[in-house]
Amino acid sequence: MPFVKFDNDVNMYYEIHGKGEPMVMINGLKADHTGWAPTLDNLKENYQIILFDNRGTGQTTDDGKKFSIEDMADDVKKLMTYLGINSAHIVGHSLGGAIAQTFAHTYPESVKKLFLCNTFIKFNDEAAEAFGHVLKLHQQGARQSEIMDAIIPWVFIEGFVTESLRQIIHETSNANPYAQTCDGYQRQYEALVEFDSNKWIDQLCVSTIVIGSEKDITALPEESTELAHRTRAILEMLPGAHASAVEQAEALSRLVNYHASSCQHACRA
């Protein structure tokens, strides 16, 4: 189990799978590196996949202080530098998409292609309120299964989570030895609600693909459309809801594989 400790007291857990051009996968709120598991087999055939746990989740530890999306983007750069990776395909989902936007804005030379999945320029108020309720559950000492029940309607399309799947989610979340703590969730959530790329998103100049979902109520389809317009990106829309890496794992992997291998100018006019 590889870890790397940075000079900012972040001790980051990471994994490397496959061979080829490097592809860094950045998780969303509450998710650790396993959130990309359904896509991994399809992507690692063509790319060297770098997975890691963001600050505040999984096996990564830090100094316990407040952090920002900019800090999390810097963590990605530090990991790439440690691994000797000058540039990579950057794939971010939700919170990870906010990190990916910030990374591309700060380190454009380190981005081969940028994939912004189910993400936004700014977290909308309704979604922020819903995930703020999740914070309250954490603060009240709710079990992980209860917390997941509050999250499920915001990330999965109605009918996807059957009773048997819900039971599996309950059992695995309650048994997870690295389940996110209240403190970890709060610091991630606060970083996310403070994120706003409006001031600089139009200046982004990397080859970008925005992937949204038609029934996403967390990162709304119109938010994906706006993000694609303002970044002059290719826009792809999937069926399903917010958790595209789970609900639409094969389709998402196919899009990432296709666009990562296609030839297009680094900055679309």
Q: How many residues are there in the chain? A: 269
Rounded Cα distance, 4 and 24, in Å: 16
Residue pLDDT, tens place only, 217-242 = 999 999 999 999 999 999 999 999 99
Is residue 261's pLDDT more than 80? yes
Is residue 253's pLDDT more than 90? yes
Instruction: Provide the token pair at 214.
Output: 């038609």
For domain 3-261, give the CATH superfamily: Alpha/Beta hydrolase fold, catalytic domain (3.40.50.1820)
Residue pLDDT, tens place only, 36-90 = 999 999 999 999 999 999 999 999 999 999 999 999 999 999 999 999 999 999 9
Rounded Cα distance, 187 and 171, in Å: 25
Please give the mean pLDDT across all residues of the chain.
96
Strands 111-117 and 88-93: parallel
Nearest to 152 by CA among 56, 59, 30: 30
In the chain, the amino acid numbered 29 is: L
269 Cα distance to chain centroid: 26
Residue pLDDT, tens place only, 83-140 = 999 999 999 999 999 999 999 999 999 999 999 999 999 999 999 999 999 999 999 9
Rounded Cα distance, 41 and 255, in Å: 14
Percent of the chain past pLDDT 70, that is, above it, reads 97
Is residue 269's pLDDT more than 50? no
Contact 204, 121 (CB under 8 A): no
Cβ atoms within 10 Å of 264's Cβ, excluding its own: 12
Q: Which pLDDT score is estimated for 1?
A: 63
Residue pLDDT, tens place only, 204-214 = 999 999 999 99
- The stretch 144-171 carries a mean pLDDT of 97
Bridge partners of residue 90, in order along the sequence: 24, 114
